[in-house]
A and B are shown apart, each in its own frame.
Chain A
């Protein structure tokens, strides 16, 4: 794992306005029913695939097609190190957004007087983290 590569990936992802709008949409819209409707549960949030897809699309292909990768490989960076760093960068970011979404949803449910069971929240959040790591791995290997 190379923290320089991971940080650069996050900054690269955040530099795209289109990606930011998509992430905001995928993050915010599923929270609206929970915010405004009493009784709406975690199932409204769905899975984290959309967030990971938007974060991870072209995570390696973009560097290959633009030619940026050549300069990175001229540095003391092994190919597996680069791929793993891209994978972890997307997986960590996807997990963080998923967990934040679950935390906000839990807060909204509590505000409606019906907080989720701690076990349900942990199970749901855990499943989304695993999804993030799994899908990010698929995107890194494609």
Chain B
């Protein structure tokens, strides 16, 4: 297995016969290792879905080359190990959830023996009960459709899973379930390509993230790199320690000695700007050393949000 290699990928659309050409992807080059969870984030219309379309072999790029395990993305042997959940999932409305999964199980050329058991397991895995499996999909809510779509994408233990906004329309319990399932995939060595606007989901699942804007990959960062970026740290102390026992002036001096800056104080909370993880640790040590009973310390943005906000200006718009 060599993973996914993308070199100089470009794709342009024309809106109508005489319309102006619209650049969807421009010279995108990325290498995704087998077993890696790779996210792409960016504004609507950035080219993320076109990128997935090319990776799945649905769209023919104008220039560039994609190989998956050394083969073309539309190679049948690659499709046999691929799972896909589109952003707007459309199903044959006459099918039941069970029939839909059995249909895709058969299309994936998986052995008919044990199909029934595997479909039941797949329904259970995404939190759909047997009664829901017997219902026709025209009676499914948006969230149930997404759950069914994810079950379909995971049918037959694929080695590559392509997901476009998988948690779109899913209720909070479903979001948590999706996050857990995707994390399991990443742990099991499945290569996951995830398009999502939900930064928290991308951060939990993906090791690397591409920031896409106007068809270009502006930056590719490891999610762990967010630890080295400046952030605002919100510190809450028990009782009246902040502002009363330890006044603003003393807090500012403590922060300064730890390499941080007091941002503002609104007892029982204070907000500090810290440069990185080390500065955050020094600040907390200094506060505790000065007798502040720190009850909670939370960054205002997640690591991925920090990366997103610190990315080149045009990619963060």
Main secondary structure of the interface of A (DSSP, over half): helix
Please indicate which of the listed interface residues A4, A5, A74 has the most CB atoms of chain B within 10 Å of its own CB.
Answer: A74
Cβ–Cβ < 8 Å partners of B207 in chain A: none
State whether the Cβ of A11 lies closer than 8 Å to any Cβ in chain B. Answer: yes
State whether the Cβ of B106 lies closer than 8 Å to any Cβ in chain A. Answer: yes
Q: Flag if B108 contacts A75 (CB, 8 Å).
A: yes
Contact A8 to B90, CB < 8 A, known contacts A74-B82, A76-B109, A78-B76? no
State whether the Cβ of B169 lies closer than 8 Å to any Cβ in chain A. Answer: no
- Could you mark each residue 57-85 of chain A with 1 if its beta carbon is under 8 Å from any beta carbon of chain B, else 0? 00000000011101111111110000000
* Residues of A84-108 whose CB lies within 8 A of B: none
State whether the Cβ of B58 lies closer than 8 Å to any Cβ in chain A. Answer: yes
* Residues of A1-45 whose CB lies within 8 A of B: 2, 4-5, 8, 11-12, 15
Q: Flag if A66 contacts B58 (CB, 8 Å).
A: no
Number of A interface residues, CB 8 Å?
19
Q: Flag if A68 contacts B92 (CB, 8 Å).
A: yes
Please indicate which of the listed interface residues B57, B77, B92, B152 has the most CB atoms of chain A within 10 Å of its own CB.
Answer: B92
A17 to chain B minimum Cβ distance, whole angstroms, is 11
Cβ–Cβ < 8 Å partners of B106 in chain A: 4
Query: Which residue of the partner chain, among A12, A70, A74, A76, contacts B92 with CB atoms under 8 Å?
Result: A12
State whether the Cβ of B187 lies closer than 8 Å to any Cβ in chain A. Answer: no
Contact A68 to B76, CB < 8 A, known contacts A74-B82, A77-B107? no
Q: Flag if A75 contacts B58 (CB, 8 Å).
A: no
Using a CB–CB distance below 8 Å, which chain B residues touch chain A? 56-58, 76-77, 79-80, 82-84, 86, 88-92, 94-95, 103-104, 106-109, 152
Using a CB–CB distance below 8 Å, which chain A residues touch chain B? 2, 4-5, 8, 11-12, 15, 66-68, 70-78
Q: Flag if A71 contacts B104 (CB, 8 Å).
A: yes
Q: What would be 28 A-B contacts, judged by CB atoms less than 8 Å apart?
A: A4-B103, A4-B107, A8-B103, A11-B94, A11-B95, A12-B94, A15-B94, A66-B90, A67-B86, A68-B90, A68-B91, A70-B58, A70-B86, A70-B90, A71-B104, A71-B152, A72-B107, A73-B57, A74-B83, A74-B84, A75-B79, A75-B108, A76-B79, A76-B80, A76-B108, A76-B109, A77-B107, A78-B76
Given contacts A67-B88, A71-B90, 16 further A-B contacts (CB under 8 A): A4-B103, A4-B106, A11-B95, A12-B94, A15-B94, A68-B90, A71-B84, A71-B89, A71-B91, A71-B104, A71-B152, A72-B107, A73-B58, A74-B56, A74-B84, A76-B109
CA distance A71 to B76 in the complex (A): 14
CA distance A15 to B100 in the complex (A): 14
CA distance A78 to B107 in the complex (A): 11
